Amino acid sequence: MKASNVLVSQPFEKMEEGLGPLYPVVDDIALLKRLLAHGVRTVQLRVKDPNHPHLEAMVKDAVGYGELYNAQVFINDHWEKALSAGAYGIHLGQDDLKSADLNAIAKAGIRLGVSTRTAEELQLALSLNPSYLAIGHIFPTPTKQMPTPPQGIEQLKTHLRTVNGKVPTVAIGGIDLSVASDVWQSGVDAIAVVRAITQSEDLAATLHSFADILTEEARNELSTAL
């Protein structure tokens, strides 16, 4: 798919508070609410099963909790339900861009995040003027079957140079506390995490640990040391 095959009549809304630095991706409404209650500002609801019996209710609940906590909640893939529910944002993969009504999303003032895995996909996504770009997967991940190999941090840096600050960026894929600092040093605007949150036995402690890493002070200190 070339960029010329996807036309959007207007740019997507920007994110008032930026992206990050921490962007949890979850499939559980109770966990999503807990994250918002802990002060996380941006969260994504990713329910893989399009036939999930409670999908519509989950989308509505996620949108409602986002409004309640004045947070930025994105709905993954299920753009029609998200559009109907008045979602703050929608996140789409490359295949979803072919079928989603991007103009309807843009006209509704809903933010759009787009997944990218290659340089070509990155250029396509940039041409859409999205609200943010997701770059991944950075490390191996069992949470989703991927058609491309892990990109690693050096390739992430290359993609960030291509973006050149035009839109906010988030790194995703296999990121946990052990590698979060290395990814943060790339200059990415946010780090998306899945298992590090969904499998956490102490959510508050995990969020605190990420908060210690994902600060501009920590990034600047390590960059100076290097």
Does 209 belong to an annotated binding site? no
Does 215 belong to an annotated binding site? no
Does 45 belong to an annotated binding site? yes
Contact 190, 170 (CB under 8 A): yes
Does 48 belong to an annotated binding site? yes
Does 174 belong to an annotated binding site? yes
Structure-token match 């861009």, residue found: 97
Task: With H, G, I as helix, E, B as strand and everything else as coil, classify residue 94.
Answer: helix
Does 76 belong to an annotated binding site? yes
Does 188 belong to an annotated binding site? no
Specify the DSSP element, H or E, that contains 112: strand 111-116
Look up residue 196 and give its two tokens.
């590090």
CA distance 44 to 17: 15
Q: For residue 126, which of 109, 110, 114 has the smallest C-alpha distance?
A: 114
CA distance 135 to 85: 27
Does 101 belong to an annotated binding site? no
Does 27 belong to an annotated binding site? no
Does 96 belong to an annotated binding site? yes
Q: For residue 132, which of 107, 115, 152 has the smallest C-alpha distance?
A: 115
Does 169 belong to an annotated binding site? no
Residues of each annotated binding site: 44-48, 76-77, 96, 115, 141-144, 174
Residues of each annotated binding site for Mg(2+): 77, 96
